[in-house]
Amino acid sequence: MPSLTGWLPLLLIAAPLGAQPASRAFDVRTFGATGDGHTIDSDAINRAIDAAAAAGGGTVYLGAGTYASYSVRLKSHVALYLDRGATLLAADTANGRGFDAAEPGPGNEYQDYGHSHWHNSLIWGEDVEDVSIVGPGRIDGKSLNRGISRDTPHVGNKAIALLRAKNVLLRDLTIYRGGHFGVLATGVDNLTIDNLTIDTNRDGIDVDACRNVRISNTSVNSPNDDAIVLKASYALGATRGTENVTLTNSVVTGFAVGSVLDATYRPFTDGAANRDGPTGRVKLGTESNGPFRNITISNIVFDNSRGLALESVDGSIIEDVTVTNLTMRHVFTSPIFLRLGSRMRGPKELPVGTLKRVTISNVVASDVDPRYASTITGLPGHAVEDVTLRDVRIVYRGGLSLETAAKQPSDMVRSGERGGGGPRSDPYAVAEQEKVYPEPSMFGIVPASAFYVRHVTGLTMDGIDVSFEQPDTRPAFVLDDVHDAEFRGVHAPKIAGTPTFVLRGVSDFRTLFSRPVADTYVKQTTSKSF
C-alpha cells in the first residue's frame, strides 16, 4: 500500500463534517484497483466505499492514475477523493458489462428521461447524507451518452447524479465530457458546489428541487446546453421547490467542447445541432412545476453564450430573485429573458404560475445578437409582476429594421422556422406562443431593438443605457399590455423617423431624466409612440 503521509492532511480537510481519523482512509489500490486506464476498477472502488461505510465513514482515495470505471455507488459519511493526476474514466461497455441499469423512475412523463433516472451514471448516490466528491483530479465521461430517451442496457448517462441526499460537498474537481449532465442533483438539501471546472457536451450543473444550495467559483463550458440551471421538475413524483440558492463568482461559456480545458477557446460551430448558437448560460427553469424562492445570482461572467433566462412555464411560482453584477460578451440571444408561459408539462390540476419580485442590476453586455432584444413577457391575464432593472448597459450589433421584424411569420416558433401564417400585417402583433418551449427565438425577430415587454405589471427601469454598433431602426422599447411602468435615466440613441417608445395598451407610464425623450406621463393609452 502506498504511503499516505503526502495526502493525508488533504483528506482531513476534504472529509465531510466530523472529519475521520487517519485510520479511516481507504486507498482503492488496496482493494484491487490498478489505475492503468484499461482494467475496470469500479468493483474495487465500490469495495473501498463499502469498507469506509462499514467503518462508520471515511475517505476513499484515488491516487494518480486513470481508473476505467462503470458505476460508482456513493454511501453515507464517505468522501471520494481524487488526487492530482487521478482520472475517473467512464469506460466503454464490453462483454455485457457496463453501467448500472436505470431505476424505474418516478413513473410520469412530465420531464425527459435524463431528469428521471440516476443509477445509470458514472457516480451516483441515493438517500445518502454527509458525502463528498473532492480533490484536484478529473472525471472524464468519455463513454457517457449525451441524452438517451429510454433505458439502453449498460450505457451511462451522467457524470454525477444525486437523488434525495443531504449535506453534500463537491469541490475542486474537473469534469470533462459529462454526458447528459455533468452534475444532476435532485431533491438535495444543503448542497455546496465550489471550485469546479466543467467542460462538457450537454448541461453542466442541474440543481432540481433542492434547498439551501451554494454554487461558487465554478467555470462551466457547455456549448450544446445550459451551463448552470436551476429546475423544479416533477422528477420526485410531486412538486418540490428549489429554494435558498446562491450562485456567485463563476464563469459560463459556450466554446467548443474541450477548448476551455486546453485554453484554446475554439468557437462553437455545430450550428446544425443548435441553430440559435451556443448555449452555455445561466437559467432558472424550463422544468418548472415546483416553486423557486430566495434565489441570488451574482458576479457571473458570460462569454460566447446565451444570456440570463428566468422561465416559469409549467405552473411554477418564481419569486424573490436577485441578480447582480453580470458581465456578458458575444451574446447569441436575449441578454435578459424573463418568460411566464403555459406549456404546463405536469399534472392537470397545476395552474399557470407566477413570476414576480425580480431585481436585476449592474449588467454589462456587448456584441449582442440584434434579433432578440431583452424580453420580459407574460400571458394575457397572467402578468409578470414587480420587476426592477437597474444600472444595465447593453451594446447590440444593430443593423435591423421594423420591416425586418414584420417579415417574420405571424406564428413564428423558432428562429429559421416558418409556420402556416404569412408575414405580420402588424409588425407589433407578435404571437403569444403560450405552449412553446421558451427560448428568445420563439417570437422571431421582435419589433424592439432593446427591450420587448408584454403582459407586465409593475416595471421599473433605472439607469438603462442601450447602444448599437450599427443603426437599428426598430423602436428601442416596445411595451404591450404593461401597467405601472417607470423609466428613469434611460438612454438610447435617437434614430430619425423612429420612435424611442411604442406603447400599446399601457397605463400609468412615466419617463424621467431620459434621453432622447422628455419627461412624460401617460395615464392610459391604446396606442402611442414618441
d(C-alpha 242, C-alpha 213), whole Å: 9
How many Cβ atoms from other residues are within 10 Å of residue 426's Cβ? 10
Do 334 and 363 meet the contact criterion of CB atoms below 8 Å apart? no
Q: Residue 500 has what pLDDT?
A: 98
Type of residue at 174:
T
Q: Residue-wise pLDDT tens for the chain (530 aa)?
A: 344 444 444 444 444 433 444 458 999 999 999 999 999 999 999 999 999 999 999 999 999 999 999 999 999 999 999 999 999 999 999 888 999 999 998 989 999 889 999 999 999 999 999 999 999 999 999 999 987 656 678 999 999 999 999 999 999 999 999 999 999 999 999 999 999 999 999 999 999 999 999 999 999 999 999 999 999 999 999 999 999 999 999 999 999 999 999 999 999 987 555 678 999 999 999 999 999 999 999 999 999 999 999 999 999 999 999 999 999 999 999 999 999 999 999 999 999 999 999 999 999 999 999 999 999 999 999 999 999 999 999 999 999 999 988 887 655 544 334 444 567 788 999 999 999 999 999 999 999 999 999 999 999 999 999 999 999 999 999 999 999 999 999 999 999 999 999 999 999 999 999 999 999 999 999 999 99
291 closest CA partner among 381, 231, 229: 231
Torsion angle of C-alpha atoms 38, 154, 171, 28, degrees rounded to 10: -40
Domain-wise residue ranges, the chain:
358-530
CA distances from 105 to 4, 128, 235 (A): 40, 17, 8
In angstroms, rounded to a whole number, what is the distance separating the alpha carbons of residues 60 and 67?
Answer: 13
d(Cα 371, Cα 398) in Å, to the nearest integer?
A: 8
Contact 401, 446 (CB under 8 A): no
- The reported pLDDT for the residue numbered 21 is 44
Instruction: Give ∠ CA 100-106-110 in degrees, rounded to 5.
Output: 120
345 near 373, Cβ under 8 Å?
A: no
pLDDT at 164: 98
Looking at residue 9, its pLDDT comes to: 43
Cis peptide before 21 (omega within 30 of 0): no
Please give the pLDDT value at position 151: 66
Three cell numbers, residue 242: 428549489
- Residue-level pLDDT at 148: 64
- How many Å is the Cα radius of gyration of the chain? 25
Instruction: Give the strand pairing for 477-488 and 501-512.
Output: parallel
Nine cell digits for residue 270 = 455545430
In this prediction the pTM is 0.94
Nearest in space to 284 (alpha carbons), one of 340, 236, 332: 340
Query: How does 58-67 read in b/e, with b if 16+ C-beta sit within 10 Å?
Result: bbbbbbebbb
Three-class SS of 452-463: EEEEEEEEEEEE
Q: Tell which residue, 248, 229, 203, has the closest CA to residue 288.
A: 229
Residues 6 or more apart from 31 whose CB is under 8 A from it? 44, 45, 47, 48, 51
Sign of CA dihedral 485, 486, 489, 494: positive
The pLDDT, as a whole number, for residue 409 is 63
Query: How many residues are present in the chain?
Result: 530
Neighbouring-strand partners of residue 303: 253, 329
Q: What is the pLDDT of residue 147?
A: 78
Rounded-to-integer distance, Cα 353 and Cα 383, Å:
10
* Dihedral (Cα; 458, 522, 449, 226), 10-degree rounding: 10
Listed residue (207, 211, 276) closest to 241, CA to CA = 211
As given in the structure block, the three cell numbers for residue 128 are: 445518502
CA 325 from centre of chain: 17
Q: Give the span between the Cα atoms of 456 and 458, in whole angstroms.
A: 7
Beta-sheet pairing, 520-529 with 501-512 = antiparallel
DSSP structure string for 460-506: EEEEEEEEEEE---S-SEEEEEEEEEEEES-B----TT--SEEEEEE
